[in-house]
Amino acid sequence: MSQEVIAIEGGHKLKGTVRISGAKNATVALIPAIVLAEKPVEIMGVPEISDVDALMVLLKELNCEVELEEDTLKVNPETMINTPLVSDAVDKLRASYYFMGALLGKYGDVTIKMPGGCYLGPRPIDLHLKGFEALGATITYDEKMGSYHLHADHLKGNRIYLDFASVGATINIMLAAVRADGKTTIENAAKEPEIIDVANLLTKMGAKIRGVGTDTIVIEGVDYMGGAVHEIIPDRIEAGTFLIIAAAMGNMVLIQNVIPQHLDALLSKLREMGVVFEIIGDTILVYGNIEHLKPIEIKTQIYPGFATDLQQPLTAFLTQAEGQSKVTDTIYTARFKHCAELNKMGANIEVGDACCYVNGKTDLHGTRVNATDLRCGAALVVAGLMADGVTEIGNVYHIDRGYDNIDRKLIALGAQISRYEVDD
Protein backbone atom coordinates (compact mmCIF):
# COMPACT_ATOMS: atom_id res chain seq x y z
CA MET A 1 0.00 0.00 0.00
CA SER A 2 1.29 3.48 -0.84
CA GLN A 3 0.73 6.98 0.46
CA GLU A 4 1.51 10.48 -0.72
CA VAL A 5 4.41 12.32 0.90
CA ILE A 6 5.80 15.83 0.72
CA ALA A 7 9.56 15.71 0.15
CA ILE A 8 11.62 18.76 1.12
CA GLU A 9 15.28 19.22 0.28
CA GLY A 10 16.51 21.42 3.11
CA GLY A 11 19.08 24.17 3.23
CA HIS A 12 17.76 26.42 0.46
CA LYS A 13 17.41 30.09 1.36
CA LEU A 14 14.02 31.63 0.62
CA LYS A 15 13.42 35.02 -0.95
CA GLY A 16 10.46 36.83 -2.50
CA THR A 17 6.80 37.51 -1.80
CA VAL A 18 4.03 35.28 -0.46
CA ARG A 19 0.34 36.21 -0.18
CA ILE A 20 -1.68 34.86 2.74
CA SER A 21 -5.02 33.19 1.99
CA GLY A 22 -8.36 33.58 3.74
CA ALA A 23 -8.56 32.33 7.32
CA LYS A 24 -9.16 28.59 7.59
CA ASN A 25 -10.61 28.88 11.11
CA ALA A 26 -13.08 31.54 9.92
CA THR A 27 -13.96 29.75 6.68
CA VAL A 28 -14.98 26.50 8.40
CA ALA A 29 -17.54 28.45 10.47
CA LEU A 30 -18.64 30.89 7.75
CA ILE A 31 -19.69 28.09 5.39
CA PRO A 32 -22.07 26.40 7.88
CA ALA A 33 -23.38 29.87 8.83
CA ILE A 34 -24.66 30.27 5.26
CA VAL A 35 -27.46 27.77 5.88
CA LEU A 36 -29.16 30.33 8.13
CA ALA A 37 -29.83 32.50 5.07
CA GLU A 38 -32.96 32.36 2.93
CA LYS A 39 -31.24 33.94 -0.08
CA PRO A 40 -27.91 33.40 -1.93
CA VAL A 41 -24.65 34.15 -0.10
CA GLU A 42 -21.28 34.85 -1.72
CA ILE A 43 -18.01 34.46 0.19
CA MET A 44 -14.73 35.69 -1.30
CA GLY A 45 -11.19 34.75 -0.30
CA VAL A 46 -12.00 31.07 0.32
CA PRO A 47 -8.75 29.12 0.83
CA GLU A 48 -8.04 26.06 -1.30
CA ILE A 49 -8.04 23.49 1.51
CA SER A 50 -9.62 20.06 1.91
CA ASP A 51 -11.83 21.22 4.81
CA VAL A 52 -13.67 23.45 2.32
CA ASP A 53 -14.24 20.45 0.05
CA ALA A 54 -15.78 18.49 2.93
CA LEU A 55 -18.06 21.39 3.92
CA MET A 56 -19.21 21.80 0.33
CA VAL A 57 -20.21 18.12 0.31
CA LEU A 58 -22.33 18.73 3.42
CA LEU A 59 -23.99 21.78 1.83
CA LYS A 60 -24.86 19.66 -1.20
CA GLU A 61 -26.26 16.94 1.07
CA LEU A 62 -28.57 19.65 2.43
CA ASN A 63 -29.64 20.29 -1.19
CA CYS A 64 -28.04 23.73 -1.40
CA GLU A 65 -26.80 24.94 -4.79
CA VAL A 66 -23.03 25.30 -4.45
CA GLU A 67 -20.53 26.82 -6.86
CA LEU A 68 -16.83 27.54 -6.28
CA GLU A 69 -15.05 29.76 -8.81
CA GLU A 70 -11.39 30.36 -7.95
CA ASP A 71 -11.62 31.74 -4.37
CA THR A 72 -15.31 32.74 -4.45
CA LEU A 73 -17.95 30.42 -3.01
CA LYS A 74 -21.56 31.00 -4.08
CA VAL A 75 -24.28 29.18 -2.16
CA ASN A 76 -28.01 29.30 -2.80
CA PRO A 77 -29.90 27.83 0.20
CA GLU A 78 -33.37 28.43 -1.28
CA THR A 79 -33.71 24.74 -2.28
CA MET A 80 -32.36 23.50 1.06
CA ILE A 81 -33.76 20.42 2.79
CA ASN A 82 -32.97 19.65 6.44
CA THR A 83 -31.57 16.13 6.20
CA PRO A 84 -29.44 14.20 8.74
CA LEU A 85 -25.72 14.81 8.31
CA VAL A 86 -24.30 11.34 8.90
CA SER A 87 -22.00 10.82 5.90
CA ASP A 88 -18.24 10.35 5.94
CA ALA A 89 -17.79 14.06 5.15
CA VAL A 90 -18.71 14.86 8.77
CA ASP A 91 -15.77 12.75 9.96
CA LYS A 92 -13.25 14.75 7.98
CA LEU A 93 -13.27 17.90 10.09
CA ARG A 94 -14.24 18.91 13.58
CA ALA A 95 -15.80 22.15 12.37
CA SER A 96 -18.73 20.20 10.91
CA TYR A 97 -20.21 20.72 14.39
CA TYR A 98 -21.10 24.29 13.34
CA PHE A 99 -23.99 22.79 11.40
CA MET A 100 -25.46 21.94 14.83
CA GLY A 101 -25.98 25.58 15.73
CA ALA A 102 -26.91 26.75 12.23
CA LEU A 103 -29.51 24.04 11.53
CA LEU A 104 -30.89 24.25 15.06
CA GLY A 105 -31.30 28.00 14.59
CA LYS A 106 -33.01 27.67 11.22
CA TYR A 107 -35.13 24.55 11.66
CA GLY A 108 -35.17 23.80 15.38
CA ASP A 109 -34.03 20.30 14.52
CA VAL A 110 -30.75 18.67 13.50
CA THR A 111 -29.25 15.19 13.37
CA ILE A 112 -25.48 14.99 12.94
CA LYS A 113 -22.70 12.50 13.54
CA MET A 114 -20.02 13.22 16.10
CA PRO A 115 -17.56 15.43 14.17
CA GLY A 116 -14.00 14.40 13.29
CA GLY A 117 -10.77 16.34 12.70
CA CYS A 118 -7.31 16.24 14.28
CA TYR A 119 -6.97 14.52 17.64
CA LEU A 120 -5.34 16.98 20.03
CA GLY A 121 -6.44 15.41 23.28
CA PRO A 122 -9.88 15.74 24.88
CA ARG A 123 -11.98 18.37 23.11
CA PRO A 124 -15.51 17.81 24.41
CA ILE A 125 -18.43 19.70 22.95
CA ASP A 126 -20.17 19.92 26.34
CA LEU A 127 -20.10 23.73 26.27
CA HIS A 128 -21.84 23.74 22.90
CA LEU A 129 -24.52 21.35 24.12
CA LYS A 130 -25.08 23.26 27.37
CA GLY A 131 -25.55 26.41 25.36
CA PHE A 132 -28.11 24.77 23.08
CA GLU A 133 -29.97 23.39 26.10
CA ALA A 134 -30.04 26.87 27.64
CA LEU A 135 -31.75 28.06 24.45
CA GLY A 136 -34.42 25.38 24.90
CA ALA A 137 -33.11 22.45 22.86
CA THR A 138 -33.40 18.83 23.93
CA ILE A 139 -30.41 16.65 23.02
CA THR A 140 -30.18 12.90 22.61
CA TYR A 141 -27.19 10.81 21.59
CA ASP A 142 -27.53 7.60 19.57
CA GLU A 143 -24.56 5.46 20.57
CA LYS A 144 -25.19 2.92 17.80
CA MET A 145 -25.16 5.59 15.08
CA GLY A 146 -22.67 7.85 16.88
CA SER A 147 -24.93 10.82 16.19
CA TYR A 148 -26.61 13.66 18.08
CA HIS A 149 -30.21 14.73 17.65
CA LEU A 150 -31.10 18.26 18.74
CA HIS A 151 -34.67 19.55 18.78
CA ALA A 152 -36.49 22.67 19.92
CA ASP A 153 -40.06 23.68 19.19
CA HIS A 154 -39.03 27.28 19.88
CA LEU A 155 -35.54 28.49 20.69
CA LYS A 156 -35.66 31.17 23.35
CA GLY A 157 -32.89 33.61 24.23
CA ASN A 158 -31.10 33.16 27.53
CA ARG A 159 -28.04 34.21 29.50
CA ILE A 160 -25.23 31.70 28.91
CA TYR A 161 -21.93 31.63 30.79
CA LEU A 162 -19.09 29.66 29.20
CA ASP A 163 -16.90 27.87 31.73
CA PHE A 164 -14.07 28.25 29.22
CA ALA A 165 -13.74 30.93 26.53
CA SER A 166 -14.17 28.40 23.72
CA VAL A 167 -14.07 29.65 20.13
CA GLY A 168 -16.19 26.75 18.88
CA ALA A 169 -18.83 27.10 21.58
CA THR A 170 -19.01 30.88 21.18
CA ILE A 171 -19.62 30.60 17.43
CA ASN A 172 -21.98 27.63 17.64
CA ILE A 173 -24.20 29.24 20.28
CA MET A 174 -24.18 32.47 18.28
CA LEU A 175 -25.36 30.59 15.17
CA ALA A 176 -28.36 29.19 17.04
CA ALA A 177 -29.13 32.35 19.00
CA VAL A 178 -29.46 34.66 15.97
CA ARG A 179 -32.79 32.96 15.18
CA ALA A 180 -33.98 32.46 18.78
CA ASP A 181 -36.83 34.46 20.29
CA GLY A 182 -35.60 37.35 22.43
CA LYS A 183 -32.16 38.24 23.74
CA THR A 184 -29.20 35.92 24.28
CA THR A 185 -26.15 37.00 26.26
CA ILE A 186 -22.97 34.93 25.98
CA GLU A 187 -20.67 35.68 28.91
CA ASN A 188 -16.97 34.76 29.01
CA ALA A 189 -17.15 34.60 25.22
CA ALA A 190 -14.01 34.01 23.17
CA LYS A 191 -12.56 37.06 21.39
CA GLU A 192 -10.71 35.57 18.41
CA PRO A 193 -10.76 37.52 15.12
CA GLU A 194 -12.48 34.60 13.40
CA ILE A 195 -15.51 35.07 15.68
CA ILE A 196 -15.71 38.71 14.64
CA ASP A 197 -15.56 37.64 11.00
CA VAL A 198 -18.45 35.20 11.44
CA ALA A 199 -20.48 37.85 13.29
CA ASN A 200 -19.83 40.29 10.45
CA LEU A 201 -21.31 37.84 7.92
CA LEU A 202 -24.30 37.12 10.16
CA THR A 203 -24.89 40.86 10.58
CA LYS A 204 -24.84 41.34 6.79
CA MET A 205 -27.45 38.57 6.60
CA GLY A 206 -29.67 40.44 9.06
CA ALA A 207 -28.59 39.27 12.52
CA LYS A 208 -28.47 41.72 15.43
CA ILE A 209 -25.22 41.17 17.33
CA ARG A 210 -23.17 43.48 19.52
CA GLY A 211 -20.15 43.08 21.79
CA VAL A 212 -18.21 40.74 19.50
CA GLY A 213 -14.51 40.98 20.31
CA THR A 214 -15.30 41.47 24.00
CA ASP A 215 -16.09 38.81 26.59
CA THR A 216 -19.83 39.58 26.47
CA ILE A 217 -21.82 39.10 23.25
CA VAL A 218 -25.46 40.16 23.10
CA ILE A 219 -27.73 38.79 20.35
CA GLU A 220 -31.29 39.87 19.57
CA GLY A 221 -33.01 37.07 17.67
CA VAL A 222 -34.51 37.75 14.25
CA ASP A 223 -37.17 35.92 12.23
CA TYR A 224 -35.50 36.22 8.83
CA MET A 225 -31.97 36.27 7.44
CA GLY A 226 -31.24 37.13 3.83
CA GLY A 227 -28.34 36.92 1.44
CA ALA A 228 -24.97 38.68 1.68
CA VAL A 229 -21.55 39.18 0.10
CA HIS A 230 -18.55 38.77 2.40
CA GLU A 231 -14.74 38.64 2.17
CA ILE A 232 -12.86 36.43 4.63
CA ILE A 233 -10.12 37.90 6.83
CA PRO A 234 -6.51 36.78 6.22
CA ASP A 235 -5.39 33.59 7.95
CA ARG A 236 -3.34 34.63 10.98
CA ILE A 237 -2.10 31.06 11.51
CA GLU A 238 -0.87 30.71 7.92
CA ALA A 239 0.69 34.17 8.24
CA GLY A 240 2.36 33.13 11.50
CA THR A 241 3.65 29.92 9.94
CA PHE A 242 5.23 31.85 7.06
CA LEU A 243 6.70 34.36 9.52
CA ILE A 244 8.42 31.45 11.28
CA ILE A 245 9.55 29.96 7.96
CA ALA A 246 10.91 33.33 6.82
CA ALA A 247 12.71 33.80 10.14
CA ALA A 248 14.20 30.31 9.88
CA MET A 249 15.28 30.23 6.22
CA GLY A 250 14.43 33.59 4.70
CA ASN A 251 16.55 36.26 3.11
CA MET A 252 14.16 39.19 2.60
CA VAL A 253 10.70 37.55 2.50
CA LEU A 254 7.67 39.84 2.10
CA ILE A 255 4.44 38.43 3.55
CA GLN A 256 1.35 40.11 2.10
CA ASN A 257 -2.31 40.26 3.16
CA VAL A 258 -1.68 40.24 6.90
CA ILE A 259 -3.46 41.91 9.81
CA PRO A 260 -0.39 42.52 12.01
CA GLN A 261 -2.29 43.08 15.27
CA HIS A 262 -3.66 39.52 14.98
CA LEU A 263 -0.04 38.35 15.32
CA ASP A 264 1.15 40.58 18.17
CA ALA A 265 1.99 37.66 20.49
CA LEU A 266 4.06 35.81 17.88
CA LEU A 267 5.80 38.96 16.65
CA SER A 268 6.76 39.80 20.22
CA LYS A 269 8.32 36.36 20.72
CA LEU A 270 10.16 36.42 17.38
CA ARG A 271 11.56 39.84 18.29
CA GLU A 272 12.65 38.41 21.66
CA MET A 273 14.52 35.65 19.80
CA GLY A 274 16.37 38.22 17.71
CA VAL A 275 14.39 38.04 14.47
CA VAL A 276 14.45 41.29 12.49
CA PHE A 277 11.31 42.32 10.59
CA GLU A 278 9.43 45.42 9.49
CA ILE A 279 5.66 45.97 9.44
CA ILE A 280 4.50 47.98 6.43
CA GLY A 281 0.70 48.35 6.38
CA ASP A 282 -0.78 44.93 5.69
CA THR A 283 2.62 43.39 4.89
CA ILE A 284 5.53 42.17 7.01
CA LEU A 285 9.08 42.09 5.65
CA VAL A 286 11.29 39.49 7.37
CA TYR A 287 15.02 40.04 6.88
CA GLY A 288 16.22 36.63 8.11
CA ASN A 289 19.87 35.54 8.29
CA ILE A 290 20.04 35.54 12.11
CA GLU A 291 23.24 33.98 13.46
CA HIS A 292 22.50 33.79 17.19
CA LEU A 293 18.90 33.09 18.20
CA LYS A 294 17.94 33.47 21.85
CA PRO A 295 15.89 30.81 23.67
CA ILE A 296 12.45 31.88 24.93
CA GLU A 297 9.48 30.70 26.96
CA ILE A 298 5.98 30.69 25.52
CA LYS A 299 2.63 29.78 27.03
CA THR A 300 -0.39 29.42 24.77
CA GLN A 301 -3.46 31.37 25.84
CA ILE A 302 -6.83 32.34 24.43
CA TYR A 303 -6.70 35.31 22.08
CA PRO A 304 -4.99 37.78 22.20
CA GLY A 305 -2.43 35.49 23.87
CA PHE A 306 -0.05 33.20 22.00
CA ALA A 307 -2.04 30.95 19.64
CA THR A 308 -1.95 27.21 20.31
CA ASP A 309 -1.97 26.65 16.54
CA LEU A 310 1.43 28.33 16.27
CA GLN A 311 3.26 26.60 19.11
CA GLN A 312 4.10 23.54 17.00
CA PRO A 313 5.69 25.39 14.05
CA LEU A 314 7.54 27.65 16.49
CA THR A 315 8.85 24.62 18.41
CA ALA A 316 10.61 23.47 15.25
CA PHE A 317 12.28 26.89 14.90
CA LEU A 318 13.31 26.87 18.58
CA THR A 319 15.64 23.94 17.84
CA GLN A 320 17.94 26.60 16.37
CA ALA A 321 17.99 28.82 19.47
CA GLU A 322 21.13 28.70 21.60
CA GLY A 323 19.91 27.31 24.92
CA GLN A 324 16.77 25.79 26.41
CA SER A 325 13.31 27.06 25.45
CA LYS A 326 10.09 26.05 27.17
CA VAL A 327 6.72 25.71 25.45
CA THR A 328 3.57 25.29 27.56
CA ASP A 329 0.16 24.67 25.99
CA THR A 330 -2.77 25.59 28.23
CA ILE A 331 -5.35 25.08 25.45
CA TYR A 332 -4.60 21.55 24.16
CA THR A 333 -2.40 19.94 26.77
CA ALA A 334 -1.70 16.85 24.62
CA ARG A 335 -0.50 18.86 21.61
CA PHE A 336 3.09 17.63 21.64
CA LYS A 337 3.14 14.69 19.24
CA HIS A 338 5.30 16.72 16.88
CA CYS A 339 8.16 16.56 19.38
CA ALA A 340 8.82 12.85 18.75
CA GLU A 341 8.84 13.49 15.01
CA LEU A 342 11.25 16.43 15.37
CA ASN A 343 13.51 14.30 17.56
CA LYS A 344 13.77 11.80 14.68
CA MET A 345 15.32 14.66 12.71
CA GLY A 346 17.95 15.38 15.36
CA ALA A 347 16.09 17.74 17.68
CA ASN A 348 16.60 17.46 21.44
CA ILE A 349 13.15 17.96 22.92
CA GLU A 350 11.88 16.64 26.24
CA VAL A 351 8.11 16.45 26.74
CA GLY A 352 6.76 17.25 30.19
CA ASP A 353 3.30 17.79 31.65
CA ALA A 354 1.48 19.96 29.07
CA CYS A 355 4.85 21.39 28.05
CA CYS A 356 8.09 20.65 26.28
CA TYR A 357 11.70 21.74 26.69
CA VAL A 358 13.58 22.44 23.47
CA ASN A 359 17.36 22.16 23.89
CA GLY A 360 19.29 23.94 21.17
CA LYS A 361 21.03 24.57 19.01
CA THR A 362 20.80 21.25 17.16
CA ASP A 363 21.55 20.32 13.57
CA LEU A 364 18.54 18.76 11.87
CA HIS A 365 18.77 16.04 9.22
CA GLY A 366 16.24 14.83 6.71
CA THR A 367 14.42 11.58 7.38
CA ARG A 368 10.94 10.02 7.11
CA VAL A 369 8.42 11.59 9.50
CA ASN A 370 4.63 11.73 9.80
CA ALA A 371 2.25 14.64 10.31
CA THR A 372 0.16 13.50 13.29
CA ASP A 373 -2.12 16.54 12.93
CA LEU A 374 -2.42 19.75 10.93
CA ARG A 375 -0.02 21.99 12.86
CA CYS A 376 2.42 19.12 13.47
CA GLY A 377 2.59 18.97 9.69
CA ALA A 378 3.47 22.67 9.61
CA ALA A 379 6.20 22.10 12.20
CA LEU A 380 7.70 19.34 10.05
CA VAL A 381 7.66 21.63 7.00
CA VAL A 382 9.59 24.24 9.01
CA ALA A 383 12.05 21.57 10.16
CA GLY A 384 12.41 20.09 6.68
CA LEU A 385 13.31 23.47 5.21
CA MET A 386 16.06 23.87 7.84
CA ALA A 387 17.36 20.29 7.77
CA ASP A 388 20.32 18.85 5.92
CA GLY A 389 19.17 16.41 3.24
CA VAL A 390 15.67 15.33 2.25
CA THR A 391 12.73 15.12 4.65
CA GLU A 392 9.75 12.98 3.64
CA ILE A 393 6.52 13.96 5.43
CA GLY A 394 3.72 11.40 5.49
CA ASN A 395 0.02 11.88 6.27
CA VAL A 396 0.06 15.06 4.18
CA TYR A 397 -3.75 15.17 4.16
CA HIS A 398 -3.45 16.83 7.57
CA ILE A 399 -1.42 19.67 6.05
CA ASP A 400 -3.83 20.03 3.13
CA ARG A 401 -6.69 20.51 5.59
CA GLY A 402 -5.40 23.89 6.65
CA TYR A 403 -2.78 25.30 4.28
CA ASP A 404 -3.72 26.65 0.84
CA ASN A 405 -1.16 25.39 -1.70
CA ILE A 406 1.72 25.48 0.77
CA ASP A 407 3.97 23.59 -1.67
CA ARG A 408 3.40 26.10 -4.48
CA LYS A 409 3.89 29.11 -2.21
CA LEU A 410 7.17 27.77 -0.83
CA ILE A 411 8.47 26.77 -4.27
CA ALA A 412 7.82 30.34 -5.44
CA LEU A 413 10.13 31.50 -2.62
CA GLY A 414 12.88 29.12 -3.70
CA ALA A 415 12.17 25.96 -1.71
CA GLN A 416 12.84 22.53 -3.25
CA ILE A 417 9.62 20.56 -2.66
CA SER A 418 7.90 17.69 -4.45
CA ARG A 419 5.08 15.23 -3.85
CA TYR A 420 5.08 11.57 -4.76
CA GLU A 421 3.78 8.17 -3.72
CA VAL A 422 5.83 5.86 -1.48
CA ASP A 423 5.21 2.39 -0.13
CA ASP A 424 4.12 2.24 3.51
**Among 228, 264, 386, CA closest to 315:** 386
Q: Is 141 helix (H, G, I), strand (E, B) or coil?
A: strand
| Close Cβ partners of 383 (under 8 Å, ≥ 6 residues apart) | 316, 319, 342, 345, 347, 364, 391
**Among 367, 420, 406, CA closest to 390:** 367
Asked if 313 contacts 339 with a C-beta cutoff of 8 angstroms, the reply is no
- CB-based burial, 285-309: b 16+ in 10 Å, e otherwise: bbebebeebebbebbbbbbeebbbb
Peptide bond into 115 cis (omega under 30): no
Asked if 266 contacts 245 with a C-beta cutoff of 8 angstroms, the reply is no
Identity at 212, one-letter amino acid code: V
Between β-strands 349-351 and 283-288, what pairing exists: parallel, antiparallel or unpaired? unpaired
Q: Is 118 among the catalytic positions?
A: yes
- Taking the C-alpha atoms of residue 298 and residue 306, their distance in angstroms, rounded to an integer, is 7
**Among 28, 24, 18, CA closest to 58:** 28
Q: How many CB atoms lie within 10 A of CB 193?
A: 19
Measuring CA to CA, how many Å separate 81 from each of 64, 110, 125, 162, 228?
Answer: 8, 11, 25, 32, 20
Asked if 309 contacts 375 with a C-beta cutoff of 8 angstroms, the reply is yes
- Taking the C-alpha atoms of residue 51 and residue 31, their distance in angstroms, rounded to an integer, is 10
Q: Which of 64, 118, 339, 356 is catalytic?
A: 118
- Taking the C-alpha atoms of residue 371 and residue 58, their distance in angstroms, rounded to an integer, is 26
* Residues annotated as part of the active site: 118
